[in-house]
Amino acid sequence: MNICSKVWCRTVQFFFAIGLKILPIRKPEVISGSGKLSELPDFIKSKGLKKPLLVTDKGIMKIGLPAPLLASMVSADMECAVYDETVPNPTIDNIEAGLKIYNESNCDCIIAFGGGSSMDCAKIIGARAVKPNTPVGKMKGYFKILKTLPPFFAIPTTSGTGSEATVAAVISNSVTHEKYPINDFCLVPHYAVLDPLLTLKLPKHITSTTGVDALTHAVEAYIGRSNTGLTRDMATKATKLIFENLKETYDNGDNVDARENMQIAAYYAGVAFTRAFVGYVHAIAHTLGGLYGTPHGLANAIILPYILDWYGKSAYKPLARLADFAGGICEKSDTIAVKAQKFIQAIKDLNQSMDIPTKIKGLKEDDFKIIVKRALKEANPMYPVPKLMDKKQMIQVLKQLME
C-alpha cells in the first residue's frame, strides 16, 4: 500500500477511535441463565408491549426451539406474529418480507430468535420500521439510521456472532451477491436473553464454527489499534472462556455449564468488537458469504489463521498476551514471537480437532478481482488492523485459501 493510502487509513482510524471513546454505546440488559426464556413473555408484558414479531428461520422452527416460547405467550394472552424465512446470509428480500408482516400485524416490538442471521435480519426489519422511506441499500456503512428501533429482544441459539451485543448487521443483496455491514448505535438490542438450554441441540459443525467465530471477534478486536480498557477486558475474558469450553461443547454437547460459558464468551466478544472493530478476516468472510453463500462462522474459522500468519510481527505482542489468557499454550521462557506463533498454531489445532476445513470450498481465482474490491472497500480505511493490506497482498492470501 502506498504511503498516502496508509496515512489516510490511519488518520480515519485515529479520529474514529477517539469518537468511539467519547460516544456512549449502550449495552443490552442481559437476562442470563438456564430456563430464563420461559420468563420472557411476562417480562415483555411488564414493558407495556403486546404484539411482538418473532424473526427466525425454518430450521429452528423445524426442530421446535421457539415452540415453548410461543406456547408461553399464548398462556400470557399475547399475540405473536412470526417471520421464519430468514436465510443463512439474510437478504434485502428477507427484510422486506419481515417488515410487511410487522406492519400488517401492528407489532410493537421485535424478538430475534436464532443465530446471527436471524438477529441481523431482525435488526434491519426494525430499522426499516422506523425509517420506512430509506431502502436497505441506503443504510450500508455507518450511522445511516440514527433513530430508536422498536423494543428489541435478542435470543441467540448459537454461541458465536455476539450480535446480541453489537451495533452491526450484515445483509446480502440477492441480485448483486454483495454482502455488506450496516453499523449504527441504535442496532444494539435492548435486551439479550442468554439461555444455554437453547444451544444443547446444536449440531457439532455449528457448535465448532460459531465458537471460532466468537474467537475471531475477540482476537480481531484485541489486536486492532482502537482498543480500550473495556474491549481488552472483554476480549481476553472471551478468549479464555472459548479455549476452556469450546472443545468441551463440541465433544459433549449436553454440558450445560460449558454451553453457558460459551454464550457468555460470545457476548463478551460482541461487546469487544462493537467498540474496537474487526479486521480483514471479517472483510473477506463477508464477501465470500455474499458470493458463495459460505456460512459466516465457517469462513471466519478458516480464514483466521491465514490472516494472523500474514500480520506477522505487527501482531506478535497482542497475540502473545492472548496466548497467556488462553492457558496451557506457552512456557514462561517463551519469547513474544514464540508465544504469538504458538497461539496461531493453537487455533489451527483447535480447528483441526473439530474437523473444520483449511480451505474455502468453491473459491475461484476468476472471482479474486471482485472479492478483493469488496473486501478492501469494507476494511479500508475503517478497520484498525495491525498491518494494512493492499490488493496484491490480499490476492496472496486468497490463493492460500483455495482448495
Residue 2's pLDDT band (cuts 50, 70, 90): confident
- 50 and 170 share a domain? yes
Q: What is the pLDDT of residues 177-218, one digit of tens each?
A: 888 899 999 999 999 999 999 999 899 999 999 999 999 999
- 301 and 393 share a domain? yes
- 167 and 213 share a domain? no
- 181 and 44 share a domain? yes
Percentage above 70 pLDDT, the chain: 100
Report the DSSP beta bridge partners of residue 178: 173
Report the predicted TM-score, pTM, of the whole model to 2 decimal places: 0.94
Residue 258 forms part of a structural domain: yes
Determine the structural domain holding residue 317 and report its residue range.
3-21+203-401
Domain boundary among 199, 214, 234: 199
Residue 20's pLDDT band (cuts 50, 70, 90): confident
Query: Stretch 116-143: mean pLDDT, rounded?
Result: 96
Residue 328 forms part of a structural domain: yes
The structural domain count of the chain equals 2
Q: What is the pLDDT of residues 30-42, one digit of tens each?
A: 999 999 999 999 9
* 285 φ/ψ angles, rounded to the nearest 5 degrees: -60, -40
Output the domain CATH number for residue 346.
Answer: 1.20.1090.10
The answer for residues whose C-beta is within 8 angstroms of residue 97's C-beta and 6 or more apart is 83, 85
- What mean pLDDT value characterizes the chain? 95
- 13 and 49 share a domain? no
- 168 and 293 share a domain? no
Residue 370 forms part of a structural domain: yes
- 170 and 283 share a domain? no
- 134 and 218 share a domain? no
Residue 241 forms part of a structural domain: yes
pLDDT at 309 over 80: yes
- 155 and 256 share a domain? no
Domain boundary among 181, 199, 217: 199
Query: Stretch 318-326: mean pLDDT, rounded?
Result: 97
The whole-number pLDDT of residue 23 equals: 77
Residue 28 forms part of a structural domain: no
- Let me know how long the chain is: 403
Residue 129 forms part of a structural domain: yes
Report the alpha-carbon distance of residue 398 to residue 279 in Å, rounded. 15
HSE-CB of 232 using CA atoms within 13 angstroms: 8
Pairing status of strand 178-183 against strand 168-173: antiparallel
- 167 and 283 share a domain? no
- 267 and 321 share a domain? yes
Residue 285 forms part of a structural domain: yes
Domain boundary among 199, 223, 247: 199
> Exposure string (b/e) for 320-353, b if CB count within 10 Å is 16 or more?
bbbbbbbeebbeeebeeeebbbbbbebbbebbee
* Pairwise pLDDT comparison (328 vs 340), residue with the higher score: 340
Give the three cell numbers for residue 335.
519469547
Looking at 61-177, which runs of residues are DSSP E strands? 81-83, 109-114, 141-142, 152-156, 168-173
Query: Are the beta carbons of 99 and 129 closer than 8 angstroms?
Result: yes
- 209 and 316 share a domain? yes
pLDDT at 271 over 90: yes
The whole-number pLDDT of residue 232 equals: 96
Residue 26 forms part of a structural domain: no
Output the domain CATH number for residue 125.
Answer: 3.40.50.1970
What single-letter amino acid sits at 311? Y
